[in-house]
Amino acid sequence: MIFQDNNRAVVTGIGVIAANGLSREPFYQSIIGGASGLRESEMLRRLETRSIIAGEVPMDFEEMEEPSDNEKITTMAYLALSEAFEDSGVCREEIESLHMRAGLSFSTSLAGNQKTLRYMKNKREQKQNDPRWLVEKNSSTSRIAHYAGVRGPVYTTMSACAAGTAGAGLAMEQIRNGTADVVVVVGADPLTEFSPAGFHSLKSMSITGCRPFDKDRDGMSLGEGAAAFIVESLRRARDRGAHIYGELCGYGLGNDAYHMTSPDPNGTGAYRTMKMALEDARVSLEELDYINAHGTATELNDVMETNALTKLYGDSPKKSEVMISSTKSMTGHCLGAAGSVELAVVLLALDRGMVPGTAKLEEPAEDFQCFRLIKESVAANIDYAMSNSFAFAGNTSSIVVGKVEEENNG
Whether the model clears a pTM of 0.85, i.e. scores above it, the answer is yes
Q: Does any domain span residue 409?
A: no
**Domain range spanning residue 339?**
5-404
| pLDDT tens profile 190-206 | 999 999 999 999 899 99
pLDDT computed for residue 137 by the predictor: 84
pLDDT computed for residue 6 by the predictor: 81
Mean pLDDT of the chain: 94
Question: Among 214, 205, 190, which residue's Cα sits nearest to residue 51?
Answer: 205
Q: Does any domain span residue 94?
A: yes
| pLDDT tens profile 34-83 | 999 999 999 999 999 989 999 999 999 998 999 999 999 999 999 999 99
Instruction: Say which CATH number the domain at 334 has.
Output: 3.40.47.10
User: What domain count does the chain have?
Assistant: 1
Q: Does any domain span residue 194?
A: yes
| pLDDT tens profile 144-158 | 999 999 999 999 999
Residue 307 has pLDDT above 90, yes or no: yes
Residue 9 DSSP label: E
Question: Among 163, 157, 64, 159, which residue's Cα sits nearest to residue 116?
Answer: 64
